[in-house]
């Protein structure tokens, strides 16, 4: 596992600060920080030309007294051990900026560094469109498949870095709301700390309403549907959640916007394809991880291209619906099935949980292209497929509960009527959904 989370501070450190860093898993990175960013567009994807990058981390307590090569063998397994041995001999892997070799015994206070030729995954070439901008805030429509912050295998291919590239090195984007990598839609980017704090306070106090759109399996019931099933994290490693009586309180209001029946010949492919699909409005009253995906699954209408919660290989033919006690599928069975899925299936499934993307590619590997990098001889991967760039879940609207402001994005292409069918191309106001929530429920803390 390469280490990729925060930039190195080259200023002198106090002994206390240094000691604290040594005891925590804080990871430091030193990019060469090329400017302008090495982007290029090709094949409908935004790509980053490979570049050299140095990862740094302080010696952890569990590493002390162990050989350098042992640490990389057990904890940084994205490359073969032979690569790391050669890198230690050449100085690409160093300790305290010195070449020490693979048998070096790590000590308290050591700074381990790894300089590598970094290859970022490509993302969609769809631009980040601006919905609104003023002196305090930029409201954007984030494309699906683009991470917000540099993380894991993504660095320059992130919302923050793309905006910096477009607006200049002086611009410091401050994202105010959270969207998963594969979720598209409205995001707020503050231009200064006060604006970020102001909106952050509103979100924490729950005086901001938000609405999502989802494309789900089958014909969703008409009228407002309220799901208040609690949600439990059953596997932190996989980021897997499900409805459980002992989970955290969660509440979502749903309303069908449209239903499109299956066309002739649709009797296979995606889960529930023979049932047609619905476009559903979603108002999350609480904000649990994967809340919309889990509640839709429980109701029997999972997001149609959700590789985890609409995966029959994991949940069975009923896709985990109406199973609050885990009678049909125990937690252990679900976790085991997900863990045992084949390489390509896991690529489709696990890649939807941002924090697992890195781990998946290290342990299972992407599909190789058969080519290697001319500079570092790293095996090159094929481009991501559509299933790795999109989830049919979209952040449609944010509005102030008092009516001071409201921002709505256009409907994504997957929510528009299919060819030859009629249906809505825009969404009305939130009044009916808010009415289903009720003032008393909205006032409850999470």
- DSSP string across 68-115: HHHHHHHH--SS-HHHHHHHHHHTSEEETTB---TTPBP-TT-EEEEE
C-alpha closest to that of 376 among 116, 90, 89? 116
Q: What is the pLDDT of residues 350-400, one digit of tens each?
A: 333 434 444 444 444 445 566 888 888 777 878 887 667 889 999 999 999
Contact 221, 256 (CB under 8 A): yes
Continuous segment of H or E residues that includes residue 44:
none
- pLDDT at position 361 is 42
Report how far apart, in Å, the C-alpha atoms of 61 and of each of 26, 33, 112, 355, 412 are.
12, 30, 13, 24, 48
C-alpha closest to that of 151 among 380, 356, 433? 356
Least confident of 271-285, 337-351, 415-429: 337-351
pLDDT category at 303 given cuts 50, 70, 90 is very high
- pLDDT at position 193 is 97
Q: Give the contacts of 285 (CB within 8 A, at least 6 positions apart).
A: 251, 252, 253, 437, 441, 442
Cis peptide before 36 (omega within 30 of 0): yes
Q: Across-strand partners of 397? A: 211, 408
Report how far apart, in Å, the C-alpha atoms of 273 and of each of 90, 134, 159, 261 are.
55, 43, 33, 9
Alpha helices in 168-242 (DSSP H): 193-204
Q: In whole angstroms, what separates CA 345 from the centre of its chain?
A: 18
351 phi/psi in degrees, rounded to 5 = -65, -10
Tell me the three state secondary structure of residue 332: helix
DSSP summary character for residue 61 = G
Measured distance CA(363)–CA(341) in Å, rounded: 13
Q: Please report, rounded to a whole number, the percentage of residues in the chain having pLDDT higher than 70.
A: 79
Q: Give the contacts of 17 (CB within 8 A, at least 6 positions apart).
A: none
- Higher pLDDT, residue 325 or 9: 325
Token pair of 313 as six digits: 């290989």
Task: For residues 191-200, give the mean pLDDT.
Answer: 96
- pLDDT at position 439 is 44
- pLDDT at position 337 is 80
DSSP summary character for residue 416 = S
C-alpha closest to that of 440 among 228, 292, 247? 228
Other CB atoms within a 10 A radius of the CB of residue 157 amount to: 23
Q: Is the pLDDT of residue 204 over 50?
A: yes
Report how far apart, in Å, the C-alpha atoms of 359 and of each of 62, 238, 346, 362, 382 are.
21, 10, 11, 5, 18
Q: What is the pLDDT of residues 80-137, one digit of tens each?
A: 899 899 999 999 999 999 999 999 999 999 999 999 899 999 999 999 999 999 999 9
- pLDDT at position 331 is 86
Q: Across-strand partners of 213? A: 281, 394
Token pair of 219 as six digits: 């014909």
Measured distance CA(361)–CA(49) in Å, rounded: 20
Q: Using DSSP bridges, classify how beta strands 184-190 and 27-31 pair: parallel, antiparallel or unpaired.
A: unpaired
Tell me the three state secondary structure of residue 423: coil
Least confident of 5-9, 176-180, 186-190, 210-214: 5-9
Task: For residues 152-169, give the mean pLDDT.
Answer: 93
**Ordered domains of the chain (ranges, CATH):** 6-118 (3.10.290.10), 209-352+391-397+418-446 (3.30.2350)
Tell me the three state secondary structure of residue 342: coil
Placement of tokens 């006060």 in the chain: 194
**Stated length of the chain:** 446
- Residues annotated as catalytic are 180
Measured distance CA(50)–CA(119) in Å, rounded: 5
Measured distance CA(338)–CA(348) in Å, rounded: 11
Other CB atoms within a 10 A radius of the CB of residue 38 amount to: 14
Measured distance CA(116)–CA(53) in Å, rounded: 5
- pLDDT at position 363 is 42
Contact 277, 218 (CB under 8 A): yes
Contact 324, 246 (CB under 8 A): no
Q: Give the contacts of 362 (CB within 8 A, at least 6 positions apart).
A: 1, 77, 78
């Amino acid at each position: 596992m390469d280490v990729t989370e925060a930039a190195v501070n080259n200023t002198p450190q106090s002994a206390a600060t240094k000691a604290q860093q040594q005891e925590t898993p804080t990871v430091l990175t030193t990019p060469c920080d090329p400017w302008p960013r090495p982007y290029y567009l090709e094949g409908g994807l935004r790509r980053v030309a490979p570049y050299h990058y140095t990862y740094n981390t302080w010696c952890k307590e569990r590493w002390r007294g162990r050989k350098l090569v042992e640490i990389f063998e057990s904890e940084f397994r994205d490359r073969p051990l032979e690569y790391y041995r050669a890198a230690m001999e050449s100085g690409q892997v160093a300790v305290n900026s010195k070449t020490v070799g693979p048998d070096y015994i790590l000590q308290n206070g050591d700074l381990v560094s790894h300089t590598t030729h970094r290859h970022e995954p490509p993302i969609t070439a769809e631009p980040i469109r601006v919905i609104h901008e003023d002196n305090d805030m930029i409201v954007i429509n984030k494309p699906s498949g683009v991470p917000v912050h540099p993380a894991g295998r993504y660095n320059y291919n992130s919302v923050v870095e793309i905006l910096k590239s477009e607006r200049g090195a002086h611009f410091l984007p401050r994202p105010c709301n959270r969207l998963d990598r594969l979720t598209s839609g409205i995001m707020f980017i503050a231009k200064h700390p006060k604006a970020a704090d102001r909106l952050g306070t509103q979100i924490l106090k729950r005086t901001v309403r938000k609405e999502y759109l989802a494309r789900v399996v089958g014909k969703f019931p008409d009228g407002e549907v309220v799901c208040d099933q609690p949600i439990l994290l059953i596997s932190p490693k996989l980021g897997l959640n499900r409805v459980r009586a002992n989970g955290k309180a969660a509440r979502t209001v749903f309303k069908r916007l449209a239903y499109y029946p299956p066309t002739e010949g649709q009797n296979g492919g995606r889960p529930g394809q023979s049932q047609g699909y619905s476009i559903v409005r979603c108002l999350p009253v609480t904000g649990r991880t994967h809340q919309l995906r889990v509640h839709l699954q429980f109701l029997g209408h999972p997001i149609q291209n959700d590789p985890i919660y609409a995966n029959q290989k994991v949940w069975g033919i009923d896709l985990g619906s109406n199973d609050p006690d885990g009678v049909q599928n125990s937690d252990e069975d679900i976790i085991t099935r997900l863990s045992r899925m084949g390489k390509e299936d896991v690529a489709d499934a696990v890649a939807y949980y941002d924090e697992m993307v890195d781990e998946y590619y290290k342990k299972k590997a992407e599909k190789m292209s058969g080519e290697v990098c001319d500079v570092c001889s790293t095996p090159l991967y094929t481009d991501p497929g559509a299933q790795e760039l999109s989830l049919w879940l979209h952040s449609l609207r944010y509005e102030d509960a008092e009516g001071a402001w409201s921002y709505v994005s256009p409907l994504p292409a997957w929510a528009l009527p299919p060819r030859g069918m009629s249906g809505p191309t825009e969404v009305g106001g939130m009044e009916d959904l808010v009415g289903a929530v009720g003032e008393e429920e909205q006032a409850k803390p999470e």
